[in-house]
């Protein structure tokens, strides 16, 4: 087990759950090029972890299955450090030097939050660690500067996001959903997927009747799936194998390439994940379940 914390130092730990777009409708485009969305989002128990402790000077370290991919990118581009710097500007003198450790368990550039989830966990974690009085709304404004998905990752509970992702309505009655996440470990560029989208003015999510989650999900879609499949045909293979493993509904999350399959029970999800791992040992495959209800 990796440990970077000096003996006796107080550590703040913050989970960075994966973000799943259960449905994503592209309803328009802003004049600055960003797309308007109507997206149903939830979060999973699977995710990255941020650990923070005081240090003589700022530091940053990474461990976990996907640490190497991030280490190859320049540190300056890391959203964790951008989040730290932005919050420090807002926090002033209370923002003492910190060592931040990122346990990178989620594949990078994969449509399930990744960098946005890490940035959001850094903002939440540092707000606690520095004990600063910044309201959720202000934290979301800071988050939006880092990426369109950061405000929803800050909320980390089932929600519908509109605008480019910043107009959030939380949902308190979504059940816990067993899932398998699968990714062929080939990245897809988000701007490229949006660029290839044929129709940018699609219908929004339909109205949901009470207690009818599966029919509601079945009626919805991810508008980014067709352009993403054109860029990366492996996504077809991912969806096919999830379906053959018994998923009730299969869909891509975000701009891909991670797809999820919904299963009846966590046991079903675990055995489907075992089957997929045997079939495609070089993929990222993870059985997990969503975090239901309001954020704790
Ligand atoms: O905001 P973020 O850095 O996550 O977005 C990456 C890219 O994805 C943007 O530069 C933009 O090209 C595209 N995007 C978009 N509409 C959104 C979100 C992202 O066009 N709502």
ipTM, two decimals: 0.93
Query: Which residues have CB under 6 Å of ligand 1?
Result: 34-35, 37, 147-149, 164-165, 190-191, 194
For the chain, list residues with pLDDT below 70. 1-4, 73-76, 294-296
Which CATH number does 178-289 carry?
3.30.70.890
> How distant, in Å, are the alpha carbons of 35, 196, 220, 292 from that of 226?
16, 9, 14, 29
* Top mutation candidate among 29, 142, 167, 191 for ligand 1, by most atoms within 8 Å of CB: 191
pLDDT at 4: 64
Domain 11-170, second-level architecture:
2-Layer Sandwich (3.30)
- 144 Cα: distance to centroid of ligand 1 (angstroms): 11
Distance (Å) from CA 28 to ligand 1 centroid: 13
Which residue shows structure tokens 């939830």? 42
Strand order in the sheet with 249-252: 249-252, 259-262, 178-183, 284-289
pLDDT for 76 equals: 63
CA 93 to each of CA 88, 89, 96, 256: distance values in angstroms, whole numbers, following the listed order: 8, 9, 7, 40
Q: Whose CA is nearest to atom 2 of ligand 1?
A: 147
To test the pocket of ligand 1, the residue of 34, 83, 118 to mutate (highest count of ligand atoms within 8 Å of its CB) is 34
- Estimate to the nearest angstrom the gap between the alpha carbon of 138 and the chain centroid: 20
* Ligand 1, atom 10, residue with closest C-alpha: 191
- Annotated ligand binding at 109? The verdict is yes
Mutate to test the pocket of ligand 1, among 142, 161, 166, 190 (most ligand atoms within 8 A of CB): 190
| Nearest Cα residue to 242 out of 211, 273, 197, 198 | 273
Residue 58 Cα, ligand 1 centroid: separation in angstroms?
Answer: 29
Query: Does 115 carry a binding-site annotation?
Result: yes
Ligand 1 atom nearest the C-alpha of 116 is 4
Annotated binding residue 65: no
Residues 72-122 pLDDT 10s: 766 667 999 999 999 999 998 899 999 999 999 999 989 999 899 999 999
**Nearest CA owner, ligand 1 atom 8:** 191
Q: Which residues are catalytic?
A: 19, 149
Question: Could you report the per-residue pLDDT of 222-234, keeping only the tens digit for each?
Answer: 999 999 999 999 9
C-alpha 33 to ligand 1 mean position (Å): 9
Domain extents in the chain: 11-170, 178-289
292 is in an annotated binding site: no
- The model's pTM is 0.95
Return the pLDDT at 1: 42
Would you say 56 and 185 are in contact if contact means Cβ atoms under 8 Å apart? no
Total Cβ atoms within 10 A of residue 91: 17
Q: How far apart are CA 41 and CA 275, in angstroms?
A: 27
110 is in an annotated binding site: yes
Cα(190) to ligand 1 centroid in Å equals: 7
Which of 164, 86, 177 is CA-nearest to residue 127?
86
Strands 178-183 and 259-262: antiparallel
């Amino acid at each position: 087990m990796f440990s970077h914390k000096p003996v006796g130092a107080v550590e703040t730990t913050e989970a960075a759950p994966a973000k799943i777009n259960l449905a994503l409708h592209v309803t328009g485009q802003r004049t600055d090029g960003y797309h308007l969305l109507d997206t149903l989002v939830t979060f999973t128990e699977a995710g990255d972890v941020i650990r923070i402790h005081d240090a003589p000077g700022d530091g940053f370290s990474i461990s976990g299955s996907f640490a190497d991919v991030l280490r190859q990118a320049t540190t300056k581009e890391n959203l964790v450090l951008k989040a730290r710097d932005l919050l420090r500007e807002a926090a002033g003198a209370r923002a003492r030097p910190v060592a931040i450790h990122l346990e990178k368990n989620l594949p990078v550039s994969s449509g399930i939050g990744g960098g946005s989830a890490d940035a959001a966990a850094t903002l939440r974690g540092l707000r606690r660690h520095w004990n600063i009085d910044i309201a959720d709304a202000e934290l979301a404004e800071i988050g939006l500067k880092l990426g369109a998905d950061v405000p929803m990752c800050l909320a980390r509970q089932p929600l519908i996001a509109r605008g480019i992702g910043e107009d959030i309505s939380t949902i308190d009655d979504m059940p816990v959903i067993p899932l398998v996440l699968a990714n062929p470990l080939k990245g897809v560029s988000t701007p490229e997927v949006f660029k290839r989208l044929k129709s940018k003015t699609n219908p929004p999510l339909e109205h949901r009747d009470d207690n009818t989650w599966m029919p509601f999900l079945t009626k919805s879609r991810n508008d980014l799936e067709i352009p993403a499949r054109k860029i990366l045909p492996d996504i077809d293979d991912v969806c096919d194998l999830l379906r053959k493993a018994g998923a009730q509904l299969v869909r891509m999350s975000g701009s891909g390439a991670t797809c999820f399959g919904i299963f009846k029970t966590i046991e079903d999800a675990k055995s489907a994940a075992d089957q997929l791992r045997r079939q495609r040992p070089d993929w990222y495959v993870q059985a997990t379940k969503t975090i239901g209800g309001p954020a704790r």
